[in-house]
Amino acid sequence: MANIIEKSIAKICIEMVKEDVIDKKEYFIYKYNLQIIAEKTITLVPVIGISILFHRLVEMVAFIISFSALRKYTGGFHCKTFLGCFILSFLTCLSIIPLALILKRHFKIYLVLLVLSALLILWIGSINNQYIDWNETELMQAKKRSRISCLIVLICSLFLSFNVCLRDYSLYVGMGLLQTSFSLMLYRITAKGGTKYETETT
């Protein structure tokens, strides 16, 4: 299934190049973005189903909005294949429910992790790579928007945390920060050429 989708997206992008709809240099960028859209769409179905099963639909939607808003501008770790992206995204969303339960019992630790995650995102801003391929101006705009998004998510999570009845929502909103910062760190660790690529494009 994953291979069929990946091959179909590749064929679409090849046809777009042949018809001069996109430049040959843009092939991988369009292929990557189409894969992200397909992966997110397919991932949402089982994730929403599981969140309904555990009575956490609203909370999961809050996490998805928070995480997506941040990842749109920060970049971070990306799998090389569609199947890898799907599995990682699904496991990320699936891990949120038990992780939220654990951190709810240790709320002070959660707040520390939340602030540390926000500081990391504010420090790094955005990570460029061969799939996103931002130019210098686009990268600077992405860094600015990622930092603004980070502050908005942080403020929302902290505001919700003051009300004990709303702490579940605080956890799920803040989890977007935690997962995004983890993705940035994972990229730094695994992508040996990442720093070099960023340097060459900034």
- What 8-state DSSP symbol labels residue 128? -
Confidence of residue 33 (pLDDT cuts 50, 70, 90): confident
The dihedral sign for the CA sequence 35, 97, 175, 152:
positive
Whether residue 1 is predicted with pLDDT greater than 60 in this model: the reply is: no
**Total-model pTM:** 0.76
Amino acid at 41: T
Say if CB 117 and CB 183 are below 8 A apart: no
- pLDDT tens per residue, range 96-107: 999 999 999 999
- pLDDT tens per residue, range 52-91: 999 999 999 999 899 888 988 887 777 777 677 778 878 8
Say if CB 43 and CB 90 are below 8 A apart: yes
Confidence of residue 119 (pLDDT cuts 50, 70, 90): very high
Residue 197 pLDDT: 41
Please report, in angstroms and rounded to a whole number, the separation of the first and last CA atoms in the chain: 38
- pLDDT tens per residue, range 121-141: 999 988 886 666 777 888 899
- pLDDT tens per residue, range 138-194: 889 989 999 999 999 999 999 999 998 999 999 999 999 999 999 888 888 876 544
Contacts of 111 by beta carbon, 8 Å cutoff, 6+ apart: 158, 161
- Structure-block tokens of residue 173: 């909103």
Residue 23 pLDDT: 81
**Which residue has 């179905």 as its token pair?**
45
> How do the domains of the chain map onto residue ranges?
2-201
In this structure, how many other beta carbons lie within 10 angstroms of the beta carbon of residue 9? 19
- Of 109 and 142, the one with more pLDDT: 109
In terms of DSSP H, where are the helices of 19-162?
27-53, 57-74, 82-105, 107-124, 136-161
Contacts of 52 by beta carbon, 8 Å cutoff, 6+ apart: none
